[in-house]
Structure formats: C-alpha cells, structure tokens
Amino acid sequence: MMKYMSKLISGILIAVFSMGVVAQTKLPPGWQSTLVKVTSDGKLVYYPDKQGNTIPDFSRVGYHHGDISIPHYPITKIVYPIENGDNRQHIQNAIDEISRMEPDKTGHRGTILLKRGVYHIYGSIRITVSGIILMGEGENINETRLLAKGTERFTLIQVNGSGRIEEIPGTRTKITDTFVPVGTHSFHVSSSSNYKVGDRIIVYRPGTQNWIHDIKMDQIVERKGTRQWTAQEYNLSFEREIVKIEGNCIYIDNPIVMQMDEKYGGGEIFKYTFAGRISEVGIANMCLESEFEHYEDNHHAWIGVQFDKVENCWARNLTCRYFGYAAVSCERYAKNVTVANCRCLETKSIITGGLRYSFNNWGQQNLFMNCQSTEGRHDYVTGARVCGPNVFYNCTAFQTYADIGPHHRWAVGTLYDNIITDGEINVQDRGQMGSGHGWAGVTQVLWNCRAKRAAVQNPWTSGNNYNIGMKGQKYPGHFTNRPEGIWEGQNELNVFPRSLYIAQLMARHKNMDLLILMK
C-alpha cells in the first residue's frame, strides 16, 4: 500500500507542477472561493450554506477511489497481428485462455500484449471475467493499431460483467434525519443493528410526485414526443460503503451529493450484492480506429471501449479515431473506473442528437482525466439519473458542435474541473429538448474551466449548481426565467486552488501538505 501511495503522490506532484499550480511571481495572490478555501495553515475548509450544504468531496473516484495507482504486471501472453485476415478471434482466443487462469491475490489473471502492427477486427472483442489486462505497445497509428471494419454499429472492446444489484432482504432501514445536506458523510437511521463497518450499502433517495411537481417536471411545455417526468423513474440508488458506526449514526465513504428531505420522502439504506460484477480489467496503450465511408457515415464501429457491470477498472493511453459515438463509454453499472490520457479524435457520424458523446458516463464514482476530444458534440457528458460523485478533470474539447455538461434528466454530483473547450458548458433546464430532458442535473460543479460561454442554473428545489472561476462569457441559458446558479470568480486569472479535485485528493492523503500549492 505504501508503495502505491508513494507512486500516487508522486503522480500528483507531477500533475501539480506541470499544470503550473505553483505560484508564479508575475501573478497576483490566488483568488479563493467563499465556499471552499485553503487556510493559512494548509487545511481545506468547506463553508456550508444556511441548510448545511457544502460542495462535496469529489476525491474518492476512479480506480480504488484514488487510493492506489493503476498497477503494472509482467506480460503473460504475447499476440502478433495476422496481416491478411480477421484478428478478432485471434485476440479473443488469448483472452479466453487467460480467463481460465486462477487470479492471484490482487485479482490479476494475466496481461496480454498486442505487439506493434495493424489488427483488422470484424466485430467486438469481449472481456467478461476479472483480472485481464489488454495492452499494446503504444497509441500512435504506427504502433499497436486495432482497425474496426464493417458496416454495422458495434463496440470494438467490450468489458462487461453480468447480473445486477440485488437488495439483501430484511436490511432496508429508514434514514431518520428530517434533512440530510449535500456534502455530509453521515446520517442517522432507525437502527444500525443490521450493519457493520465494511458493508456495501445503497443510499436510496425515492422519487415522489410532489418533488416532481415542485421542480416543474410534470409541467414541461410539450412538443411532439415530449414525456413528462414520473416519480417512479427517479428512485435514485447511490452505492456507498460504511466506514464507521456510532450508535445509530452511519458514516459512509463517499458524501451525500443530493439533499434528502423528509417532505420529499427522505431516504433509506439497504445492503446489496452484485455477484456478476467484474474488476481489475485494464485497456491500455493502443490506437483504436474505425473504418468509415464518409464524414457523416452512421454505419461503422460506434464505441472504442465500453465498460458495464464493472468496478476498479481502467482505460488509459488510448487514441480513438473515427468512431461514431464515443471513445470510452461507462454505462449504468460501471463504478470506480479511471479513464486517463485518452483521445477521441475526428468523430464520424451525423451531427445530430444522440451522437458524438466523446467521453460518456452513466456510472458512479468514475474519473475521466487528461483526455482530449475533437469534432464531438457532447464531449464530457453524463446521462439520465446518474448518481455521483463523478469527475471530469483536466480535459479539452475543440471543434465541438454542442455543449459539455449533464445532458438530461437529473444527473447528480459531477465535478467539471479545468475543462477547456471552444464551445459551451451548460447546466440548465433543457425543458422539452429531446423527449423532455428537463433539469439536466444538480450538485454540478464547474471549477476553473474555460469556455466560449456557459449557462449554470439552479433547479427550483433540492440543491444548487456552481460555476467557480470560469473564464468565458456568462449567458442566461435556453430558458431565461430559471433560478441562477451560484457563480463566483468569473474571469479571475489565478483561481486557487487551481484544481479542486487535486486539492481534495491531497487533503485526504494527510501526508501531503496543501501549502505546497501556495509556495
């Protein structure tokens, strides 16, 4: 563990210095938000609003919550490209062979190295068991290059477990607090007798009709195809782990990212299992490409890498070119996935709704960092009813055709940290857009981003959205009569700390002094 921590802290230091977080003599003293500050003695302090809500701690995302580095293992099997033929089965056979091996104590079965060369692939490569790493010798087109061929939409590399979340009968317990604010790590329950430290639980926030009515999502101005929201669609399940119990007070690893209010049904917890979920799968160091016939071709490979029903997995150092939808997509049951140093370049599909979501997230506690996108629409985006926390950190998007941000139907708890785009970043009521997108999200935090312009609105009830230190134009949004979100430090030159995610991660690992950011 200490070895992993040492690597992690070293990586953070490199990131901090390379981003220029260390103060420069020509810059004025750092500007700080009133909501979260680094104090003179180097502590990260949060300032609650009148209800007790704070900006939450987003640091426990990605592979093993950011507590250990992505591991390196020796090569188990080497695969060479077949020059004239389909390499899919060739690679799949190697994966299947490793899948039959017993995992070691870390959960690792084996690492497959795809040697430099071009691999023609017809159809999807599938990884369905834990502990397999598929890696190449580099992400340049002249290194390890997988070329997806054919005229059907498919995912080039699928990493999918099986099963679903199953509630353990008899464990559901009512949260007794009349109000649980955003940012807290604890709450009281009617009885903690069924629980112990280490239990995995669902923090359940029910959808209720009076809540739907109060956020006016049963009153969406209709056009053809518009669906009003219904309560049963908005039962939200946040995956958490118990870290401490004091009497009937439960402490959890990741914070509450949406208010739980007694008048809207409060909340409950229950234990769960997910037997088919897989882990410790990595995809790295490759160039993934799709064949295409023309710029708006909709019939070719669609996604580079897709994760679902997984936890503690990663994709890194991938260059994805010409796909129709996404470079990497984390689906509903993808949890604690790190997507790092990946590129989604020159997307090929019609420029319209539902297409070109370069880095797409529907899961929980996922981290997208140091990624790049060109010619996308929604480059860093979440879907409907996404339960955070999730983080997009230090990413860029250029030649973009739409906006970055929560796309529709109430994504909860996302940090957009140091995102740079030549387009827009929006958090707003999307109303009748699509089939009735409505409120895109709550507890959406933009920190030190740069955009052409941004709209950040607050929903009518149940929380806030934030834009802290953005460089760019402020505009009202698609609907101009909505409550304004919380804005601070627009166009400030020296936002401090430059990265909220890095500052929170460093503060959590107490052997790292936040004052290093100020020197």
Confidence category of residue 518, pLDDT binned at 50, 70, 90 = very low
Please report whether residue 230 resides in a domain: yes
Whether residues 146 and 226 share a domain: the answer is no
Whether residues 55 and 132 share a domain: the answer is no
Q: Which tens digits make up the pLDDT trace of 70-129?
A: 999 999 999 999 988 899 999 999 999 999 999 999 999 999 999 999 999 999 999 999
Q: Which tens digits make up the pLDDT trace of 480-515?
A: 899 999 999 999 999 999 999 999 999 998 744 544
Count of Cβ atoms closer than 10 Å to residue 142 Cβ: 10
Whether residues 220 and 181 share a domain: the answer is yes
Whether residues 158 and 285 share a domain: the answer is yes
Q: Which domain holds residue 215?
A: 166-268
Please report whether residue 73 resides in a domain: no
Say which residues have a Cβ less than 8 Å from residue 326's Cβ, sequence separation at least 6: 302, 303, 304, 306, 344, 357, 358, 359, 360
Q: Which tens digits make up the pLDDT trace of 30-85?
A: 999 999 999 988 899 999 999 999 999 999 999 999 999 999 999 999 999 998 88
Q: Enumerate the β-bridge partners of residue 77.
A: 112
In this prediction, residues 263-289 reach a mean pLDDT of 98
* Peptide bond before residue 56 is cis, with ω within 30 degrees of 0: no
Whether residues 158 and 282 share a domain: the answer is yes
Residue 288 confidence (pLDDT) above 70: yes
Domain termination residue (choose one: 322, 344, 365): 365
Say which residues have a Cβ less than 8 Å from residue 491's Cβ, sequence separation at least 6: 470, 471, 472
Residue 435: predicted pLDDT: 82
Total count of domains within the chain: 3
Domain termination residue (choose one: 238, 268, 298): 268
Whether residues 55 and 8 share a domain: the answer is yes
User: Token digits for 460?
Assistant: 């009518």
Residue 29: predicted pLDDT: 74
Residue 163: predicted pLDDT: 97
d(CA 476, CA 484): 8
Whether residues 149 and 195 share a domain: the answer is no
Could you give the angle at the alpha carbon of 48 between the alpha carbons of 44 and 49, nearest 5°? Answer: 150
Domain termination residue (choose one: 248, 268, 288): 268
Write down the pTM of the prediction: 0.94
Return the percentage of the chain with pLDDT > 90, whole number: 87
Confidence category of residue 27, pLDDT binned at 50, 70, 90 = low
Please report whether residue 490 resides in a domain: no
Q: What CATH number should be reported for the domain holding residue 278? A: 2.160.20.10
Confidence category of residue 354, pLDDT binned at 50, 70, 90 = confident
Please report whether residue 297 resides in a domain: yes
Biggest alpha carbon–alpha carbon distance for the chain: 67
Residue 152: predicted pLDDT: 94
Could you give the angle at the alpha carbon of 251 between the alpha carbons of 259 and 468, nearest 5°? Answer: 45
Which of 312-326, 378-392, 404-418, 503-517 comes out lowest in average pLDDT? Answer: 503-517
Q: Which tens digits make up the pLDDT trace of 173-218?
A: 999 999 999 999 999 999 999 999 999 999 999 999 999 999 999 9
Say which residues have a Cβ less than 8 Å from residue 352's Cβ, sequence separation at least 6: none
Whether residues 104 and 180 share a domain: the answer is no
Please report whether residue 302 resides in a domain: yes
User: Token digits for 275?
Assistant: 């037997």
Please report the beta strands in 115-219, taking only residues with DSSP state E, as ranges in sequence order.
117-121, 125-127, 132-136, 144-148, 155-160, 166-167, 173-174, 179-180, 186-188, 200-205
Please report whether residue 24 resides in a domain: yes
Residue 286 confidence (pLDDT) above 80: yes
Residue 517 confidence (pLDDT) above 60: no
Residue 21: predicted pLDDT: 42
Whether residues 170 and 259 share a domain: the answer is yes
In this prediction, residues 325-333 reach a mean pLDDT of 98
Q: Which tens digits make up the pLDDT trace of 441-469?
A: 999 999 999 999 999 999 999 999 999 99
Confidence category of residue 28, pLDDT binned at 50, 70, 90 = low
Say which residues have a Cβ less than 8 Å from residue 510's Cβ, sequence separation at least 6: none
Confidence category of residue 160, pLDDT binned at 50, 70, 90 = very high
Q: Which ranges of 82-136 does DSSP label H, i.e. alpha helix?
A: 88-99
User: Token digits for 45?
Assistant: 């302090």
Confidence category of residue 13, pLDDT binned at 50, 70, 90 = very low
Whether residues 155 and 280 share a domain: the answer is yes
Whether residues 104 and 47 share a domain: the answer is no
Whether residues 186 and 231 share a domain: the answer is yes
